[in-house]
Amino acid sequence: MISIVVPAHNESSVIARTLSQWVGNPASDEIRVIVVCNGCTDDTANVARRFGPTVNVVESDTAKKTHALNLGDQIAAVFPRIYVDADIVITVDAILALARRLDQGDVLAVAPTADINLAGCSWPVRKYFGIRSRLPSSREGIGGSGVYALSEAGRGRFGQFPDVTADDTYVRLQFRREERETLPGVRSTVFAPRTLLQLIAVRTRAYRGTFELARRFPALGVNKAEANNRTLIALFKEPRLWPGLLIYCGVNIVARFRATRGSRHGAHLWQRDETSRAALSDSFK
C-alpha cells in the first residue's frame, strides 16, 4: 500500500483535477489518499468526498500547510508516503514508479521531474522559465515538482513538520545528495503563474522560505543542491538568451529584495499563485 497526503486550502477549482488521476484506475487499490482540508471556506471537502472511499477527507480550522501535513501523517498508516500539492497533476503510474524506486532501499527520498505548464502565461513568464529550465535547480524535484515521496526510514529522519514556509526544501535538506533522487522518467505537471507580478510574488515567498530555513536550521545547509550561479553566468555567452536572462535575473533580484525586507503584515500562511488555478483549472478535467 501507498499513502498519499494532500494538504488542501480552498482548492475546489483544482482538487478534482488532481484526484481524478488516481481514483478509478485499476492501480488505485494500491493507494490510500488523505486530503487534509485546512481552513477551507470553499467546497474543497465536498468535491474530494465525491471520489469515494479511496479518499479520506479530513477537515481542520487551521489554515496552515505544515499543520495539514502533520494531520495527514497522523492518519496515514503505511509507507511509502507521498506528499502532493493539491494543484499538481501526477498520474497513478508515476506514483507507483516513485514507490518502486524507494522499495530498492538505496535512497530515502525521491521526487518526479517537473513539467512546467505555461499555457496562458505571459511572454516574460515564458522567458523566465525558458532560462530556469537550463539551470541545475530545475532538475531538483523535491521543491520543484510539488511532489516528494519518503520511505519509512526517510520519514523517520525528522519528527513533525515544523512551522516553516518551505516544507519541501526542509524535507530535501534532511538528506545528503546520495540519499535523495529526482527521477527523470517520472513526471508531474506544475502550473506556472500567468503574470510577471504573480511570478515575483511566488519567488518572493520562495526566498522568504529559504532565508527562514537558513536562520532556523543552519546545520541543514550542508545538504544544499548544486548552485545555479556558474551555469547562469555561462548562459550570458549566448546573446539570444539575453532577454530571458534579464527577466530571470530581474525577477529574482526584486523577489530577493522583497523577501529580505519582509512584510509589514508578517508572513502570510497561504501565499500562493491564484492565476494558474483560476485560468488553467479546466486543462486536465
Q: What is the pLDDT of residue 26?
A: 73
Is the Cβ–Cβ distance between 5 and 95 less than 8 Å? no
pLDDT of residue 282: 47
Between 247 and 25, the higher pLDDT residue: 247
Per-residue model confidence (pLDDT) at position 269: 39
Distances from the Cα of 266 to the Cα of 205, 208, 214, 259, 262, angstroms? 12, 11, 18, 11, 7
Tell me how far apart the alpha carbons of residues 3 and 55 are, in angstroms, rounded to a whole number: 11
**Residues 203-231, mean pLDDT to the nearest whole number:** 94
pLDDT value, residue 30: 86
Amino acid 187: pLDDT = 97
Cα separation, 47 vs 49, whole angstroms: 6
- The Cα-based distances of 101 to 43, 88, 93, 108 in angstroms read 35, 20, 12, 9
Average pLDDT over residues 173-199: 97
Q: In this predicted model, what pLDDT tens digit does every residue of 250-265 receive, in sequence order?
A: 999 999 999 998 744 4
pTM (2 d.p.): 0.92
Does the pLDDT of residue 281 top 90, yes or no? no
Residue 271 pLDDT > 60: no
Output the pLDDT for position 272.
61
pLDDT at 77 (0 to 100)? 86
| Residue 255 CB coordination number (10 Å) | 20
Task: Give the separation between CA 260 and CA 271, rounded to whole angstroms.
Answer: 16
